[in-house]
A and B are shown apart, each in its own frame.
Chain A
């Protein structure tokens, strides 16, 4: 059910909208034609029940049983949908070898043959896919329109929309890795179950409760807003004291598991790590060794080249 004020879908347990604090519509409409007096009775022994500060709930003074109260709950986040794997283990290994061979001149010549695969682990890492519209008000100082001082104040308001913004919740991958992988997934293919063939795949779990998740998503949106405001809203080239106020509307969050392969390989005793998208075998990123010999050789050659050019020039000039 969406919030009547900001159109953010509410969870069944929400008593108020987490974004704009509008009360969620009550489930039960109470309809009484006349004034009534009631005494709450214990379901167990029938004695009168009072709210107890110590128990934090209505408690029967005779048998000690406690009654349930409806309150905002803050459950741990659960995966809603899985983006399926489109790259198999063998394809991942092939893609990894291709990637090793395309790293460029400054890598060791025997990198492809000398690298030994230590492990190939498939994981579904977790994150939120966020859609939202925002009315953003901003103020800032910029060098545009400055007078005697270095800065001039500016203000503005802009409509922004965020579609399929990926907010990572994973602990296994770095922020750099997740932002690299984010663009490689087709969210339309997401399914509510992991599907067959995923027996050896690790499914990461959300380690946050809902309120923390909402804070994380809101913080990411704030960061994006700030980046867009400084990138395209404020006139001028230099800014300071950028303030923004975000009015979110229709914030939709999907809890998604994204597929990836993590490869650990060894080269001359050192361990390196590579991450591949589970949906695009061309999307590979990771660490790889450099060839010290080639780098030193290149510097030496350029130095010699420079020396030679200078010598020739000095000979020509003299």
Chain B
């Protein structure tokens, strides 16, 4: 076994052939005998052992079908996308951290109370300060530099209630990655998402007929970060030989699709012109009607 800074050269446990594993790859298949190999590295602070894994539920065929349906709906995509797109993809067990904590917050908001004076509807604002405490759970953040967090958010949710304890058995035969982001980076992402979660909780916690200027401070205590492998189908879609392919992710549990499709500005311009023309014709028609009457 030889390790370089970027790749790991190992002997296939089945046929003995030498094969290369990327520095952040945890499992894959031998290119010679197709044996499913799983690399088991000693755990470190930034690369702990996975604690949980989520079961992959979407097969290769259904992931491709979802992708094609999704492409069909992209009417503003570039020329050739809906007719000539070729996809190439595989399922990856993406490293993510499942974060949970206890959130103690202090808030201040102006609460609106509506009332009537005679037939007139009026409102008054009263300042309310208070405390809120709740457990935050099931906050999932990426630990892979290859798939940024905002892309993972777009294909969430994952079924975190149905976790499996991690074992090489779960990822055997599939490609999986080790975390490539540091624990601190992931913790910062999780805390940011926690802030959004707390805001949502507080928004629905406010009394009155409405509120404004909600401000809060949150102390996150008893935090935990558990490395969890989640199944994602990663496709590279090529629609023109001269253009670079773009990436599409499909949730390996729900089949939810996300990708950033290049926009055809020609089509957008054409649509804008058509709308402008239709509006112009309609206005002319109205003008003519006015003149007749």
Residue of B nearest to A16 (CB): B163
- Interchain CB contact under 8 A, A26 and B165: yes
Report yes or no: B208 in contact with A23, Cβ–Cβ below 8 A.
Answer: no
- The winner among B41, B161, B207 for most chain A CB atoms within 10 A is B207
Q: How many residues of A contact B (CB 8 A)?
A: 56
CB of B264 closer than 8 Å to a CB of A: no
Chain B residue nearest to A21 (CB atoms) is B137
Chain B contacts with A in 216-245, Cβ cutoff 8 A: 222, 224, 226
B200 interface residue (CB < 8 Å to A): no
Cα distance, A40 to B173, chains bound together (Å): 9
B143–chain A nearest beta-carbon distance, Å: 16
Distance in angstroms from A11 CB to nearest chain B CB is 14
A235 within 8 Å of B by Cβ?
no
Known contacts A34-B42, A149-B124, A22 near B115 by CB under 8 Å:
no
Q: Is the CB of A40 within 8 A of B38?
A: yes
Quote the shortest CB–CB distance from B216 to chain A (angstroms): 12
Instruction: Evaluate whether A245 and B132 lie within 8 angstroms (CB atoms) in the complex, with A30-B49, A152-B126, A153-B126 already known.
Output: yes
Q: Are B207 and A20 in contact (CB under 8 A)?
A: no
Number of chain B residues close to chain A: CB under 8 A: 69
In the complex, what residues of B have CB within 8 A of residue A153's CB?
Answer: 111, 113, 126, 128, 206-208
CB of A33 within 8 A of chain B? yes
Contact A49–B169 (Cβ < 8 Å): yes
Residue on B with the closest CB to A48? B35
Partner of A139, one of B114, B128, B167: B128
Chain B residue numbers with a CB within 8 Å of A240 are: 207
In the bound complex, CA of A245 to CA of B132 (Å)? 7
Count CB-based A-B contacts (< 8 Å).
189
Contacts of B11 in A (CB 8 A): 37
Q: Is the CB of B51 within 8 A of A26?
A: yes
Cβ of A38 < 8 Å from any Cβ of B? yes
In this assembly, does B6 line the interface, its C-beta being within 8 Å of a C-beta of chain A?
no
A40 touching B201 in the complex, CB below 8 Å, given contacts A48-B35, A137-B131, A139-B207: no
Query: Does B64 have its Cβ within 8 Å of any Cβ on chain A?
Result: no
Answer whether residue A72 sits at the interface, using C-beta atoms and an 8 A cutoff: yes
Would you call B37 an interface residue if the criterion is a C-beta within 8 Å of the partner chain's C-beta atoms?
yes
Contacts A37-B13, A149-B115, A155-B129; A241 near B124 (Cβ below 8 A)? no
Please give, as numbers and ranges, the residues of chain A lying within 8 Å of B14 by CB-CB distance.
39, 48
